[in-house]
Amino acid sequence: MKNILIDCDPGHDDALAIIVALANPQKLNLLGITTIGGNQTITKVTENAKKLLGFLKAKVPLAAGQSNPLKRSLKTAPEAHGDTGMDGPFFDGTTYPLSDLSGVDFLYEKIMASEETVTIVALGPLTNIALLLTNHPEVKGKIDKISLMGGGIDHGNYTELAEFNIYVDPEAAEIVFQSGLPIVMAGLDVTEKAEITVAEIKALQGKGRVSQLVYELLSFYNESGRQFGFIDSPIHDLCAVAYLLAPEIFKGTYANIHVITDESLARGLTYGDFRKSASKFKPTLVLQEVDRQKFVELLLEALRYLDAV
């Protein structure tokens, strides 16, 4: 059993990560969820989180985090996730409570109150996490690891060199990667291999209440992905949760990761020194390979569980 906190910007793939986490209560003790401005504004992504958690009849506390990056204006991704940040499904107006605490204070209180160490699952820009580590360095001793979706050693997606989450707040990302904490980096190197096929998406239709929701989410997401050259759909954020449930289906290499923070064409680029002569300080496991079939089966098992509840 791992105690986890999810920091996210829902987001279609964020939604699937949350769904799979909630479907594995015997392995993941979800202490709470915070939102961060990213795929859309903080207002929109928080509303998406409320709708999703309400639909799932969850009882997980939710708090809204930072609306903007540490030093920059927010860049959103309506071209990928739609005007709401999670276009596609229709929600029936279910309400969900929101904590009065700020996201950073919420994370701090949950971590410090936990008797066991906590794993942070970071699925959006890393602003909340950077502020947590900067303002409350004492939490480091109670964090087991950070499993994040972001970056890419081989290429970017928002630009040729930078992945979206890191590009939005590169200063925050550099703070997190250089925090000294153990990090699992699910970047584009692995997430673009963690695809669900069109046929697998279609097979979800009508299978159950939650499967139908995922079908609607992925149908929009798949269609949106065509403009970026994808036929099947990489479920990026799910990788950060899937690793915690089934690390054996992934392969990777340890490195010391840095982030370019200037305003050059390389802004947001994540890079590591993989030379054999490099420093022994290699706190980040950079995931590079995934067993796609087992990855998709992990999602399908979660949907079967939730459809039966």
Q: Which long-range contacts (CB under 8 A, 24 or more apart) does 25-30 make?
A: 26/1, 27/1, 27/2, 27/244, 27/245, 28/1, 28/2, 28/4, 28/241, 28/244, 28/245, 29/1, 29/2, 29/3, 29/4, 30/4, 30/5, 30/6, 30/60
Task: Look at residues 16, 19, 20, 14 and name the one whose alpha carbon lies nearest to residue 35.
Answer: 14
Centre a 10 Å sphere on the Cβ of residue 55 and count the other Cβ atoms it contains.
18
Q: Cβ neighbours of residue 223 under 8 Å, at least 6 residues apart?
A: none
Q: How far apart are CA 249 and CA 231, in angstroms?
A: 23
User: What's the one-letter identity of residue 158?
Assistant: Y
Structural element, H or E, at residue 71: none
Cα angle: 94, vertex 95, 97; to 5 degrees: 150
Q: What are the catalytic residues?
A: 236
